[in-house]
A and B are shown apart, each in its own frame.
Chain A
Amino acid sequence: MSKTSLDLQTTVHVEASNLKAYYLTEQQGVMKEVKAVEDVSFDIEGSKFLAIVGESGCGKTTLAKVLYGFVNSNLSIIGGRICYSFGDAQYEVSPTANTLKDAWWKKISYVPQGSLSALNPVRKLKDIFLDLANSHGVPFQEEKVKNHLKMVKLPPYILRMYPFELSGGMRQRVVIALATLLHPSVIIADEPTSALDVVTQRDILRLLKSIQVDAKSTFIFITHDISLVPDLADFMAIMYGGCIVEYGPTEAIFSRPLHPYTKFLLSTVPTIGDKTEKQPIPGSPVNLIDPPPGCRFHPRCPYGEKICAEQRPGLVENKANSWECRVACWLYR
């Protein structure tokens, strides 16, 4: 990588402010809104690794789509905006504008969950790399691609193969190689390891971390498995029912979780050597079509008070903590 691109990457700035994105869906003849992302704000600067953790149906994949500017007629941004500044260029996604598409693959790229469905099954991998290069006006140099494959630890002969001939882990490496081919400075990875077994998962996570460190890029990593986060992320955001309920440095959240939901999530992680009975979180996940008023976690929360059911707590800085943590809970007011 040239020196100039390194300089540019250090000034990457991602800022989401009061982001709101809803799906429109028809239920029994009535149009309804699925409030999948509600008032999400965060900002990351420079080479950072942010993990967004939440259970299924909490809106984390929707958030990933919005962050990547992948909005269509179904999913629309209702309010707020997300700004990317790459030093030399600025892009934004908001209800009125979406300029991020021009930056896809070159400045920002996306690693999806299902690596098999991400690759065209009837094309050899070489052609897939060729397509990507051609469609972005970059000359295709086989030697360069082979070197790039070496970085993700794939043998060069896989270029002659079809996607189905590779194992799940190798396919995920191909997808990562594609996503990093044009040296983007921001990479969004949506559950990149959820279809893989633990051994492959660990290898892929190590690879992602090493790419982030070597290329000094900004990573947004989305997962349902909180136990993956400590080895990877500098910062983490916990999502519940479309909102970020806690945000802070990974170390701080693991050593002192504040939000009741975060505490529950951490307590359900089984570890080897611990046979004590774990308790599942009471109640069932929030229905995003008709979310409860107030704090969306309050029906399941053991500390629920009157105010929790009336007003939604904002994400505010927690002063009692020496870390820079933010939590959305009435307990900490």
Chain B
Amino acid sequence: MDDSLLTLNRVTKIFQIGTFLSKVKIYAVRDVTLTIEKKPMVFTLVGESGSGKTTLANVLLRVVAPTEGSVSFLGRKIESYKKSEFIRLVQPVFQNPYETFNPLKKVELYFRSVINKLSIVNHNGHAAEKIIDQALSSVALTWEEVRGKYLHEFSGGQLQRLSIARALMVNPTLLVADEPVSMLDASLRVFVLNLFRKLKEEKQLYVVYITHDLATAYYISDRIAVMLRGSVVEMGPAEKVLLNPLHPYTALLKESVPNPYKKQGESRFEEREEQILEIEEYAGEGCKFALRCPHAKEICRREIPADVFLDDVLVKCWLYK
């Protein structure tokens, strides 16, 4: 266990929806086992909406407690850390920068309270401003640009950079970034992705990058786990998984990425005549992709596929048996 940064052991999170009469259990995360080794990397969780990737991120951040299974960080169960210890190790970056900050508070207050709460230095002193300035410089902002301003005075890109700077102030080991670039413009998206690359190399930071976009995933990830309706269906080195997807679902995700330099030809995935509700996929007993998969067989609808390792890639699909 000691050679890993983060270990998830059979993590399951069940949400219940509906009223007393029609209670439905939804496996938002189902039986996820994965390890992030101790070697600075960008680990990507990829999947479409409703694949459980955000719930899994919330489990990592201790925001949501798993129904079953356990999560260990640096060899210890995450519940065993004190809150103040844990937030120094693991920090979040969220999707919508406009919701990250309170519109009625000055944005600098967040930086000051990090310094204050974690008693790094005296909250009002010049030393505090110096620390804030240092944190801001890593995201190409300056204290002058931030001082005294409220949320509405920043652009979305600036706010996202501020929220990354805030997360970096405690020098965390792991950054859990949930769709950090999906609301940013092309240019800023590249800036933030380059920043993650740089932090990994220079500050030995680990990043769990959550996205639905395989193109940005390819750009920065070292390892990747593909999620489908709560389960990890394919996992391995990013290069291998994205260039030669094994699971039909990964292939669908890859095909869906718009590529401006390649005309999309005929698709292997014909659209269904009628859209299916997500709940129908969740309710399926076997592989959750069976309703959409062009290779679906009888067994796919009946049984959840077992783990198969092809070299260093894990795949859960009845095609590989």
Whether the pair B187, A167 counts as a contact (CB closer than 8 A) is no
Q: Is A30 an interface residue (CB 8 A)?
A: no
How far does the alpha carbon of A173 sit from the alpha carbon of B48 in the complex, in Å? 17
Q: Looking across the interface, which residue of chain A has its beta carbon closest to that of B188?
A: A280
With A196-B49, A272-B215, A275-B218 as known contacts, state yes or no: A266 contacts B275, CB within 8 Å: no
Q: Is B274 an interface residue (CB 8 A)?
A: yes
Chain A interface SS verdict (over half): loop
Stretch binding the partner chain, chosen from A64-72, A93-101, A128-136, A224-232: A224-232
Contacts of B272 in A (CB 8 A): 153
Contacts of B155 in A (CB 8 A): 56-57, 284-285
Whether the pair B256, A198 counts as a contact (CB closer than 8 A) is yes
Whether the pair A199, B256 counts as a contact (CB closer than 8 A) is yes
Within 8 A of B (CB), among A255-291: 264-266, 268-275, 277-281, 284-285
How far does the alpha carbon of A56 sit from the alpha carbon of B156 in the complex, in Å? 9
How far does the alpha carbon of A201 sit from the alpha carbon of B213 in the complex, in Å? 11
Contact for A269 among B242, B260, B278, CB less than 8 A: B260
Stretch binding the partner chain, chosen from B19-27, B116-124, B131-139, B189-197: B189-197
Q: Is B263 an interface residue (CB 8 A)?
A: yes
Whether the pair B258, A227 counts as a contact (CB closer than 8 A) is yes
Whether the pair A198, B188 counts as a contact (CB closer than 8 A) is no
Mark interface residues in A221-244 (1 if CB within 8 Å of B CB, else 0).
000111111110000000000000
With A168-B49, A264-B187 as known contacts, state yes or no: A277 contacts B194, CB within 8 Å: yes
How far does the alpha carbon of A277 sit from the alpha carbon of B256 in the complex, in Å? 23
Whether the pair B194, A200 counts as a contact (CB closer than 8 A) is no
Q: Is B106 an interface residue (CB 8 A)?
A: no
Contacts of A143 in B (CB 8 A): none
Whether the pair B253, A153 counts as a contact (CB closer than 8 A) is no
Contacts of B271 in A (CB 8 A): 153, 203, 206
Mark interface residues in B273-286 (1 if CB within 8 Å of A CB, else 0).
11101100000000
Whether the pair A280, B190 counts as a contact (CB closer than 8 A) is yes
How far does the alpha carbon of A273 sit from the alpha carbon of B240 in the complex, in Å? 10
Contact for B185 among A153, A203, A224, CB less than 8 A: A224
Whether the pair A230, B263 counts as a contact (CB closer than 8 A) is yes
Interface size on B, residues (CB 8 A): 43
Contacts of A227 in B (CB 8 A): 258-260
Within 8 A of A (CB), among B126-154: none
Q: Is A154 an interface residue (CB 8 A)?
A: yes
Q: How far is the CB of A294 from chain B (nearest CB, A)?
A: 21
With A154-B275, A198-B257, A272-B214 as known contacts, state yes or no: A55 contacts B185, CB within 8 Å: yes
Whether the pair A224, B186 counts as a contact (CB closer than 8 A) is yes
Q: How far is the CB of A148 from chain B (nearest CB, A)?
A: 14
Q: Is B81 an interface residue (CB 8 A)?
A: no
Contact for A167 among B194, B213, B277, CB less than 8 A: B277
Q: Looking across the interface, which residue of chain A has its beta carbon closest to that of B186?
A: A268
Q: Looking across the interface, which residue of chain B has its beta carbon closest to that of A196?
A: B49
Within 8 A of B (CB), among A150-172: 150, 153-155, 166-170
Mark interface residues in B203-214 (1 if CB within 8 Å of A CB, else 0).
000000000111
Q: Looking across the interface, which residue of chain A has its beta carbon closest to that of B48?
A: A197
Contacts of A275 in B (CB 8 A): 218-219
Interface centre among B156, B243, B259 (most CB of A within 10 A): B259
Q: Looking across the interface, which residue of chain A has its beta carbon closest to that of B49?
A: A197
Q: Is A32 an interface residue (CB 8 A)?
A: no
Q: Is A319 an interface residue (CB 8 A)?
A: no
Q: Is A254 an interface residue (CB 8 A)?
A: yes
Classify chain A's interface size. Answer: 35 or more
Q: Is B170 an interface residue (CB 8 A)?
A: no
Within 8 A of B (CB), among A20-77: 55-57
Q: Is A202 an interface residue (CB 8 A)?
A: yes
Contacts of A199 in B (CB 8 A): 48, 212, 252-253, 256
Contacts of A280 in B (CB 8 A): 187-188, 190-191, 194
Q: How far is the CB of A232 from chain B (nearest CB, A)?
A: 10
Contact for B275 among A170, A196, A231, A277, CB less than 8 A: A170
Whether the pair A153, B186 counts as a contact (CB closer than 8 A) is no
Q: How far is the CB of A206 from chain B (nearest CB, A)?
A: 7
With A270-B216, A271-B215, A280-B187 as known contacts, state yes or no: A169 contacts B275, CB within 8 Å: yes
Contacts of A268 in B (CB 8 A): 186-187, 189-190
Contacts of B261 in A (CB 8 A): 254, 271
Within 8 A of A (CB), among B206-246: 212-216, 218-219, 242-243
Contacts of A285 in B (CB 8 A): 155, 185
Q: How far is the CB of B17 from chain A (nearest CB, A)?
A: 11
Contacts of B278 in A (CB 8 A): 167
Whether the pair B194, A272 counts as a contact (CB closer than 8 A) is no
Q: Is B172 an interface residue (CB 8 A)?
A: no
Q: Is B254 an interface residue (CB 8 A)?
A: yes
Within 8 A of A (CB), among B21-60: 48-50
Interface centre among B50, B193, B194, B277 (most CB of A within 10 A): B277
With A230-B263, A272-B254, A278-B194 as known contacts, state yes or no: A198 contacts B219, CB within 8 Å: no
Q: How far is the CB of A227 from chain B (nearest CB, A)?
A: 4
What are 8 A-B pairs at a CB distance below 8 A?
A153-B274, A153-B275, A197-B48, A198-B212, A198-B258, A226-B260, A270-B215, A272-B243
**New A-B pairs, 12, CB < 8 Å, besides A166-B277, A272-B243:** A150-B274, A167-B278, A170-B277, A197-B49, A197-B212, A201-B256, A231-B264, A268-B186, A269-B215, A270-B193, A272-B259, A273-B242
Give the top 9 A-B pairs by smallest Cβ distance, nearest first. Answer: A197-B212, A55-B185, A281-B187, A227-B258, A280-B191, A198-B256, A268-B186, A197-B48, A202-B256
